Structure 1
Amino acid sequence: MGRPNRAIRDAITQRRADAIDLKLAGVDWLTIARKLAADPSINSDGVAYPQGYGIDKYKRGQEPPTDKRLIELACKDVSKALLERTTVLDGNSDELRQLMVERLERLFFTVYRAAIRSGDYQAVDRAVRIIERSSRLLGLDRPVRADLSGPDGGAVQVETAGLAELERLIALAGTAEGGDAEG
């Protein structure tokens, strides 16, 4: 069949975006699938959705896909669209981070002025939260050091077990689950 042309690719991209929007709105899978179906007889809007589900069958005059198949197609669309969005976000993460920093700086300027001029404690609190968020976003916070200790501040005792001991513990757990259960 070959690679789809630009118009078809754009229509598929739009279909996937519509599927995500509907899912985010809380619409169930079957309703999404019917709304995005190519065959007007099953499309909930009564129209042929461009590059909708079952487009090949619709063009050949065959029976539309079953509800189960429609749901599979809708799920696949949402998964692919989310994967594509994640890939784009990963590729643009530095640009997005800079954009977020600039937004936070604009917010900070306004809140900072209100905090300094009026001494408004809510504005001070908001300014501190913006600073904290900016610091996390830019990786300025140092990692928190966590010291682990055993009882009474002593050393942590580490025990190792061999395969035979692990198998024994698994067997004990299995008999405890299947044994006398109080109910």
Structure 2
Amino acid sequence: MARPTKAVRAAIAKRRADAIDLRLAGVDWLTIGRKLAADPLANSDGLAYPQGYGVELYAKGKEPPNEAALIRSACKDVREALKDRVTELDEHVDELRAVEAQRLDRLFFVAYRKAVRDGDLPAIDRALRVMERRARLLGLDRPEKREITGPEGNPVQIEHTDLADLEALIAVTEEAARGSGDN
């Protein structure tokens, strides 16, 4: 199969963007499918949407896709558009992290200068909050070590267990972690 032309790829990208915009606006799947259909007989606007759903059928003069096919196409477009957006965000995470670190540096400088110069306690608190946020952003804090122990601090013995036992152990561990975080 030949690779689609640049114009076709652009039209598909536009269709996917339209599909996700419609879905985010709360439009149901079938309405999205009808609005983005290639065949004017299936298109709710009576238009031939460029590279719309069923474009191959429309080009050959065949019947437009049925409702189930329109829904599947709309779902697929939204799924693909979301996947593309997540991939794009993932590619820019390091850049965004660097920008955020620069912003935090500027905020820290203002709070630090006031804290050191004036001994201003609220400025000290602000400086510490900026430092904490920066440490979380850049992963500077060491992870907390968690240890699960049995009765009287002895090791947990697991010989035979089922899902209910594991869920109970997780619940006890989470409860203990919440309790130690309150101190």
TM-score by length of 1: 0.69
1:140 aligns to 2:140 (yes or no) = yes
Partner secondary structure for residue 92 of structure 1: helix
2:86 partner letter:
T
Could you tell me which runs of 5 or more consecutive residues in structure 2 were left unpaired when the two chains were aligned: 163-183
**Cα RMSD between the aligned structures?**
3.2
Kindly indicate whether the alpha-carbon contact (under 8 Å) linking 2:135 and 2:141 is maintained by their aligned counterparts in 1: yes
- Residues 119-138 of structure 1: matches in 2 within 5 Å? 130-138=130-138
Shift of 1:126: 7.0
The structural deviation recorded for 1:141 is 1.9
User: Quick check: 1:149–1:155 contact (8 Å CA) kept in 2?
Assistant: yes
Aligned to 1:179: none
Counterparts of residues 104-183 of structure 1 (less than 5 Å): 104-105=104-105, 108=107, 112=111, 130-160=130-160
CA deviations over 1:65-122 (Å, ceiling 9, x no partner): 001001111111122222223333333332232233334455x369849x869x796x
* Deviation at residue 131 of structure 1 after TM alignment: 4.0
Give secondary structure in 2 for the equivalent of 1:17.
helix
Aligned residues: 160
Unaligned runs of 5+ in 1: 167-183
Q: Confirm whether residue 91 of structure 1 aligns to residue 91 of structure 2.
A: yes
- Find the aligned partners of 1:10 and 1:156 in 2 and give their Cα distance: 58
Corresponding position: 1:78 with 2:74: no
2:87 & 2:71 partners in 1: Cα distance? 24
Say if 1:120 and 1:78 are closer, same or farther in 2 by CA, change over 3 A: farther
Q: Distance in 2 between matches of 1:37 and 1:30?
A: 10
Preserved CA contact (<8 Å) 2:111 2:124 = yes
* Larger CA deviation: 97-106 vs 79-88: 97-106
Residues 28 and 159 of structure 1: CA distance in aligned 2, closer, same or farther (over 3 Å): same
SS at match of 1:102: helix
TM-score (norm 2): 0.69
Q: Provide the identity percentage.
A: 57
* 1:21-64, Cα deviation, whole Å (9 max, x unpaired): 22222221111111211122322233222111111122222211
Corresponding position of 1:17: 17
Which residue identity does 1:42 align to in structure 2? A
Please state how far the C-alpha of 1:127 moved relative to its aligned partner. Answer: 6.4
Counterpart amino acid of 1:25?
A
With 137-146 and 124-133 compared, the bigger mean Cα shift is at 124-133
2:56 aligns with 56
For 2:25 and 2:121, the matched residues in 1 are separated by 38
